[in-house]
Amino acid sequence: NAGVTQTPKFQVLKTGQSMTLQCAQDMNHNSMYWYRQDPGMGLRLIYYSASEGTTDKGEVPNGYNVSRLNKREFSLRLESAAPSQTSVYFCASIFTSGQGILAYGYTFGSGTRLTVV
């Protein structure tokens, strides 16, 4: 089925280890986003990519890097994991077509549950 696919679904890391969370969409969306969700904090934007070849920081970018590999794929990298990065990570995408085209909503992946010990 068309949608946003995230891998892995679960991961346990030791402090200081690195890993990359993968996200891919097959809906020809041009904008992609990484969020983290923590109890009591809601969803917070880490990084986003408005179009292929561009990336920008969101609310909580520290400790993360991203790569927009192509139009379909947007990865999130933790270079040196910390316990504060224990969270559920969601990737989302949307089709945007300039100002005035308002019709579209966001599609989310099913999440990656990351624990850093």
Partner 1 sequence: KQEVTQIPAALSVPEGENLVLNCSFTDSAIYNLQWFRQDPGKGLTSLLLIQSSQREQTSGRLNASLDKSSGRSTLYIAASQPGDSATYLCAVRPAGGNNRLAFGKGNQVVVIP
The residues that touch partner 1, with contacts defined as CB under 8 A, are 31, 33, 40-43, 45, 48, 50, 56, 58, 90, 92, 94, 96, 99, 102-111, 113
Shortest reach from residue 6's CB to partner 1, in Å: 8
Q: What is the closest distance, in whole angstroms, from the C-beta atom of residue 80 to partner 1 in the complex? A: 27
Shorter beta-carbon distance to partner 1: residue 15 or 28: 28
In sign, the C-alpha dihedral spanning 32, 57, 54, 115 is negative
> Least distance from C-beta 56 to partner 1, angstroms?
7
Tokens encoding 24:
């891919």
* Cα–Cα dist 14/31, whole Å: 32
Are residues 85 and 59 in contact, defined by beta-carbon separation less than 8 angstroms? Answer: no
